[in-house]
């Protein structure tokens, strides 16, 4: 399991220098289109069904997938004032090296 802080940092850097998709639906679309480089989803999402499919879909499409403990942390990394269930990094921007280190 990768360092949660590192995963959140990749999302923050990608947000400012690249491109991210926020929310479980947007993340799902990004994975299905083959755009997602990394997906992070929150462990404290209720109901779990909202994010349960993400790890399986990521595995199928060979996308890095990480669970972070709190949706508030994920939302903050994505630049939101509220929590978010999932975030997909579409263009890693300046987070490329950091993202590679998570592989």
Q: 5-50, pLDDT tens digit by residue?
A: 999 999 999 999 999 999 999 999 999 999 999 999 999 999 999 9
Give the span between the Cα atoms of 31 and 35, in whole angstroms: 6
* pTM score: 0.95
Indicate the pLDDT class of residue 74, thresholds 50, 70 and 90: very high
Task: Average the pLDDT over 70-96 and give the result.
Answer: 97
Q: What is the pLDDT of residue 103?
A: 87
Domain 4-93 has CATH 3.30.1330.30: yes
What residues does each domain of the chain span?
4-93
Q: What are the angstrom distances between the C-alpha of 57 and each of 6, 64, 80?
A: 22, 10, 25
* Distance (Å, whole) CA 68 – CA 50: 15
pLDDT in tens, 38-63: 999 999 999 999 999 999 999 999 99
The answer to whether residue 69 scores a pLDDT higher than 60 is yes
């Amino acid at each position: 399991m990768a360092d949660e802080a590192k995963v959140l940092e990749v999302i923050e850097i990608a947000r400012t220098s690249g491109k991210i998709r926020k929310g479980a639906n947007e993340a799902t679309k990004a994975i299905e289109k083959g755009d997602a480089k990394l997906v992070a989803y929150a462990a404290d999402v209720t109901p779990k069904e909202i994010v349960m499919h993400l790890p399986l879909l990521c595995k199928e499409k060979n996308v890095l997938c990480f669970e972070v403990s709190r949706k508030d942390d994920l939302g903050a990394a994505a630049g939101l004032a509220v929590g978010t269930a999932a975030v997909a990094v579409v263009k890693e921007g300046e987070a490329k090296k950091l993202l590679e280190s998570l592989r």
